[in-house]
Amino acid sequence: MRDDVRSYGDITGISPENYEKIKDSIPYPQVRYADGKLHLDHEGKYIDVEGFLDELVQLMDEDGWGEVDFLDHLGQEMVRYRLRRGGWKAERRPFSAIGTAEMRGL
């Protein structure tokens, strides 16, 4: 049986102090943090990515940025989250668009 979702991403501009503040609320089971960079990975049941991102972007350094991809296998949709300090933007595409020029431009 296929997992419900797959999500992964990399975020830069997280200080060690701010990582300590957020680490217990990270919904991703696989997390690596080093040198101000946070790598997230999950494959399994649905997780609340947007609630976590709301919290995370408030703790990013001024020049911090990142991208998180969320593939919803049940809904056949991919969401790419682009993060900057203080906010994020989501771009949604159907699975049928994966691999197209439109997706490469995201």
Q: How confident is the model at residue 13 (pLDDT cuts 50, 70, 90)?
A: very high
Instruction: List the domains of the chain with CATH numbers.
Output: 5-104 (3.30.70)
Nearest one of 44, 106, 33, 39 to 72, comparing CA atoms? 44
Query: 28-43, pLDDT tens digit by residue?
Result: 999 999 999 999 999 9
Structure confidence at residue 95 (pLDDT) = 86
Q: Which two tokens stand for residue 38?
A: 């946070």
Structure confidence at residue 2 (pLDDT) = 63
Helix count and strand count (H, E) for the chain: 3, 6
Query: 37-71, pLDDT tens digit by residue?
Result: 999 999 999 999 999 999 999 999 999 999 999 99
Nearest one of 80, 50, 49 to 66, comparing CA atoms? 80
Structure confidence at residue 104 (pLDDT) = 60
Task: Indicate the pTM of the whole model.
Answer: 0.88
Q: Name which of 25-29, 46-50, 91-95, 102-106 the model is least confident about.
A: 102-106
C-alpha–C-alpha distance, residues 79 and 19, integer Å: 24
